[in-house]
């Protein structure tokens, strides 16, 4: 498995470079993955043969661009198991997708907002701020109550705890498929089902899972799922909200303007059908093409192959890091995660990150946009290594050696 | 670039990180402010006892990286008992060195010269300045005043 990963690294030109005189070991994949040649080629091919605005002209390039955009949508719908009852809306990324849901349920843009005073929204404490702050705003806007599903001291979520929060006024349940700050992979299938059975709309932040586990909408009790291109070997600035069409129909649009309307008079506007209604303005067509090419890349390599590789690397990293004195890996026993987030006694993550960078190793340090989780766990900032198909056990060995060296220097 | 352990984490810096000077709360502070860096979670509160135009006492508490703690510790040591005007002057000189506008061999910086290497690490400059921002805000904020006591550093 490690050998095949070395071959993959050759397909990723962004990785073929030295940092501070050492070969780059890129271990910040939970923030952004690199793109393989086939994705870069797909974007370049679109921009050089088909670049034009979509749905606007009768000329040849406009039709090619429209076809490319619609084709990307169909490719990505198949990728996540969306069926005839689903639709996919392109966004700038997971953050915009989640804002579109939270805003769309609490805004009066289509008449009466879906959420009303006294309704209840449940989010979990494992969330990235992108699946937390929009719900705070939605609660304020609508008068709904925000409830938080907290983890146990080990950072795990439990269905029993959710059962205690669900009630007759629960309208929304939002959960992550993988906590970016701790690496915890919650039992989101069971949590979503329990919330849906209780009558809530369900929202899944799949940003961390889509690059390896790839949640399958056809088997999930999920109304809305958000994910990003740049965490699945695709371009930055493109993402998607995919969900049940009847639920998407109820969202007030976040962006009003061109391409999302049916008919406009001086005083009144009627809106276009989905998906155009939720895609106001010129979309990132090149990004959508690249994101679809990234989905094809994942299918070609095999999602099981990628999932197996990154989860095995993570387990190896947990073992190697846990051997070091004063190092504790969060959610060490969590299944199916590509993230090893760890605490170091007497050494601050920022100092560690600077020293690792000088060994050519890219990691993320800080609070990872997840302050409520760190507060819940009673910890401060962490250092996070996260893995992709092109990473190797040798890079994990380099990480462990460099962490040991840095801790000796900083203590 | 030198190894960061020579350039950024000089012995003096690590020594101040391990044993920060004037770490702890004052018995009778007259001014205080808190500085936080939301991207890394660094959180420093600076307390002052200002008397007759001087920083009669300085104390700080909180947590941060080695650069942040060492810089705040050296700041407290350098300014303890000094006139308020000296605090502004030293802060301006130190900041100028970090942002590349001042001479890193400025003799007036004293021990703070050991942090001059931070100027080669742009994403660490705000670590070195967090305690100084808190000091500047504390000097403007008598305890019991109406000003908000917390400043937030913008995300990098």
pLDDT at B5: 72
Q: Which value, in Å, is the radius of gyration of the alpha carbons in chain A?
A: 22
Nearest-by-CA chain A residue for B38 = A367
Is residue A166 domain-resident? yes
pLDDT at B2: 67
Neighbours of A408 (CB within 10 A): 10
- CA of B60, closest CA in chain A: separation in Å? 18
Q: Which residues on chain A are in Cβ contact (under 8 Å) with B63?
A: 380
Distance, CA of B23 to CA of B21 (rounded, Å): 5
Is residue A148 domain-resident? yes
Angle formed at CA A213 by CA A209 and CA A215, multiple of 5 degrees: 75
Tokens standing for residue A316: 């190896």
The CATH number assigned to the domain holding A226 equals 3.40.640.10
Is residue A66 domain-resident? yes
The residue among B3, B5, B69 with the most chain A CBs within 10 A of its CB, best to mutate, is B5
The CATH number assigned to the domain holding A399 equals 3.90.1150.10
For residue B7, the Cα-to-chain-centroid distance in whole angstroms is 19
Among residues A108, A226, A248, the alpha carbon closest in space to that of A175 is found at A226
In this prediction the pTM is 0.93
pLDDT at A5: 54
pLDDT at A303: 95
- CA of A154, closest CA in chain B: separation in Å? 21
Angle formed at CA A16 by CA A12 and CA A21, multiple of 5 degrees: 155
Last residue of a domain, one of A258, A281, A299: A299
Q: Which residues on chain A are in Cβ contact (under 8 Å) with B65?
A: 348-351
- Answer positive or negative: Cα dihedral of A339, A345, A351, A355: negative
Per-residue pLDDT reduced to its tens digit, B70-110: 999 999 999 999 999 999 999 999 999 999 888 877 778 89
- CA of B81, closest CA in chain A: separation in Å? 30
A129 shares a domain with A28: no
- CA of A351, closest CA in chain B: separation in Å? 6
Distance, CA of A96 to CA of A90 (rounded, Å): 10
**Touching check for A351 and chain B: CB below 8 Å?**
yes
Neighbours of B81 (CB within 10 A): 10
Type and span of the H or E element at A400: helix A393-410
- CA of B82, closest CA in chain A: separation in Å? 31
**Touching check for A355 and chain B: CB below 8 Å?**
yes
Distance, CA of B84 to CA of B79 (rounded, Å): 9
CB contact under 8 A, A20 and B65: no
Domains of chain B from N-terminus onward? 4-152 (3.90.1010.10)
Is residue A116 domain-resident? yes
Q: Which of B:58-87 have CB within 8 Å of A?
A: 63-68
A50 shares a domain with A32: no
Conformation bin of residue A86: beta by default, left when phi > 0, alpha when psi is -120 to 50: beta
Which residue numbers in chain A have pLDDT < 70? 1-7
Is residue A360 domain-resident? yes
CB contact under 8 A, A365 and B8: no
A141 shares a domain with A71: yes
Active site residue A376: no
**Touching check for B155 and chain A: CB below 8 Å?**
no
Q: Which residues on chain A are in Cβ contact (under 8 Å) with B8?
A: 354
| DSSP-assigned letter for residue A384 | E
Which residue numbers in chain B have pLDDT < 70? 1-2, 145-156
Please, what is the angle between helix A393-410 and helix A349-357, to 10°?
120
Parent domain of A143: 40-299
A100 shares a domain with A10: no
Q: How many CB pairs under 8 A join A and B?
A: 49
Q: Which residues on chain A are in Cβ contact (under 8 Å) with B1?
A: 20
- What b/e string do you get for A55-68 counting C-beta neighbours within 10 Å, with b at 16 or more? beeeeeebebbbeb
Q: Which residues on chain B are in Cβ contact (under 8 Å) with A349?
A: 40, 65
- CA of B6, closest CA in chain A: separation in Å? 11
Is residue A386 domain-resident? yes
Contact B75, B55 (CB under 8 A): no
Q: Which value, in Å, is the radius of gyration of the alpha carbons in chain B?
A: 15
Per-residue CA distances from A99 to A134, A176, A188, A235, A349 (Å): 6, 15, 20, 20, 30
DSSP string computed for A140-151 = HHHTPEEEEE--
A96 shares a domain with A16: no
Q: Let me know how many helices (H) and strands (E) chain B has, helices first.
A: 5, 4
Q: Which residues on chain A are in Cβ contact (under 8 Å) with B68?
A: 348
- Answer positive or negative: Cα dihedral of A161, A372, A229, A272: positive
Place of tokens 């719908």: A77
**Number of domains, chain A:** 2
Last residue of a domain, one of A299, A333, A348: A299
pLDDT at B156: 37
**Touching check for B41 and chain A: CB below 8 Å?**
yes
Per-residue CA distances from A373 to A51, A141, A180, A330, A369 (Å): 43, 24, 10, 12, 9
Q: Length of chain A in residues, anyone?
A: 411
Distance, CA of A286 to CA of A289 (rounded, Å): 5
A320 shares a domain with A176: no
Contact B9, A410 (CB under 8 A): yes
Among residues A98, A62, A45, the alpha carbon closest in space to that of A293 is found at A45
- Of A358, A365, A381, which has the smallest distance from its Cβ to B4's Cβ? A358
Last residue of a domain, one of A299, A330, A353: A299
Distance, CA of A223 to CA of A247 (rounded, Å): 7
Is residue A314 domain-resident? yes
A188 shares a domain with A161: yes
A358 shares a domain with A235: no
**Touching check for A373 and chain B: CB below 8 Å?**
no
Tokens standing for residue A148: 């938080």
Q: Length of chain B in residues, anyone?
A: 156
Contact A331, A358 (CB under 8 A): no
Q: H helices of B31-124, where?
A: 66-79, 84-98
Distance, CA of A9 to CA of A346 (rounded, Å): 35
Helix, strand, or coil here: A380?
Answer: coil
CB contact under 8 A, B64 and A348: yes
pLDDT at A2: 45
Is residue A23 domain-resident? yes
Which residues lie below 8 Å from residue B89, measured CB to CB, with a gap of 6+?
none
Distance, CA of A212 to CA of A210 (rounded, Å): 6
A356 shares a domain with A285: no
A385 shares a domain with A236: no
CB contact under 8 A, B14 and A365: no
A362 shares a domain with A260: no
The residue among A181, A344, A350, A411 with the most chain B CBs within 10 A of its CB, best to mutate, is A350
Contact A133, A166 (CB under 8 A): no
CB contact under 8 A, B124 and A354: yes
ipTM comes to: 0.85
Q: Which residues on chain A are in Cβ contact (under 8 Å) with B121?
A: 354
A229 shares a domain with A169: yes
Nearest-by-CA chain B residue for A409 = B5
CB contact under 8 A, A348 and B65: yes
Contact A27, A360 (CB under 8 A): no
């Amino acid at each position: 498995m490690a050998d095949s990963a070395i071959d993959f690294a050759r397909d990723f030109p962004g990785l073929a470079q030295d940092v501070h005189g050492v070969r780059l070991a890129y271990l910040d994949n939970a923030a952004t993955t690199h793109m393989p040649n086939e994705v870069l080629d797909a974007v370049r091919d679109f921009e050089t043969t088909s670049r034009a605005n979509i749905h606007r002209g009768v000329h040849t390039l406009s039709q090619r661009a429209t076809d490319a955009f619609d084709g990307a949508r169909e490719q990505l719908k198949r990728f996540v198991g969306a069926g005839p009852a689903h639709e996919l809306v392109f966004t700038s990324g997971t953050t915009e997708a989640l804002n579109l849901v939270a805003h769309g349920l609490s805004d009066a843009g289509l008449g009466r907002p879906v959420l009303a005073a006294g309704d209840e929204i449940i989010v979990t404490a494992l969330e990235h701020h992108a699946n937390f702050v929009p719900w705070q705003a939605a609660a304020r806007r609508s008068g709904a109550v925000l409830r938080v599903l907290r983890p146990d001291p080990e950072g795990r979520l439990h269905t029993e705890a959710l059962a205690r929060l669900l009630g007759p006024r629960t309208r929304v349940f939002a959960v992550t498929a993988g906590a970016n700050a701790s690496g915890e992979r919650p039992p989101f299938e069971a949590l979503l089902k329990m919330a849906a059975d209780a009558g809530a709309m369900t929202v899944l932040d799949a940003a961390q899972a889509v690059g390896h586990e790839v949640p399958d909408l056809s088997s999930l009790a999920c109304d809305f799922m958000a994910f990003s291109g740049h965490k699945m070997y695709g371009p930055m600035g493109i993402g998607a909200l995919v969900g049940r069409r009847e639920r998407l129909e109820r969202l007030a649009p976040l962006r009003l303007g061109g391409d999302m309307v049916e008919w406009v008079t001086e005083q009144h506007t009627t809106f276009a059908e989905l998906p155009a209604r939720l895609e106001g303005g010129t979309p990132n067509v090149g990004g959508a093409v690249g994101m679809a090419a990234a989905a094809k890349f994942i299918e070609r390599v095999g999602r099981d192959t990628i999932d197996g590789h990154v989860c095995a690397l993570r387990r190896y990293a947990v073992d190697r890091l846990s051997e070091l004195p004063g190092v504790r890996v969060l959610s060490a026993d969590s299944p199916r995660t590509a993230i090893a987030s760890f605490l170091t006694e007497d050494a601050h993550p920022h100092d560690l990150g600077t020293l690792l960078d000088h060994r050519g190793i890219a990691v993320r340090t800080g609070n990872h946009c997840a302050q409520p989780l760190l507060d819940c766990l009673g910890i401060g900032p962490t250092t996070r290594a996260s893995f992709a198909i092109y990473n190797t056990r040798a890079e994990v060995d380099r990480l462990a050696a460099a962490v040991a060296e840095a801790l000796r220097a900083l203590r | 670039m030198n190894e960061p352990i020579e350039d950024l984490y000089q012995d003096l810096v690590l020594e101040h990180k391990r044993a920060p000077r004037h770490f702890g709360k004052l018995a009778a502070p007259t001014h205080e402010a808190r500085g936080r860096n939301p991207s890394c979670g660094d959180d420093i509160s600076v307390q002052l006892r200002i008397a007759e135009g001087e920083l009669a006492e300085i104390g700080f508490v909180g947590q941060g990286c080695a650069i942040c703690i060492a810089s705040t510790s050296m700041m407290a040591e350098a300014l303890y008992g000094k006139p308020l005007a000296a605090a502004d002057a030293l802060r301006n000189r130190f900041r100028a060195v970090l942002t590349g506008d001042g001479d890193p061999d400025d003799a007036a910086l004293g021990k703070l010269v050991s942090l001059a290497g931070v100027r080669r690490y742009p994403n660490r400059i705000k670590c070195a300045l967090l305690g100084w921002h808190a000091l500047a805000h504390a000097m403007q904020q008598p305890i019991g005043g109406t000003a908000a006591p917390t400043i937030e550093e913008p995300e990098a």
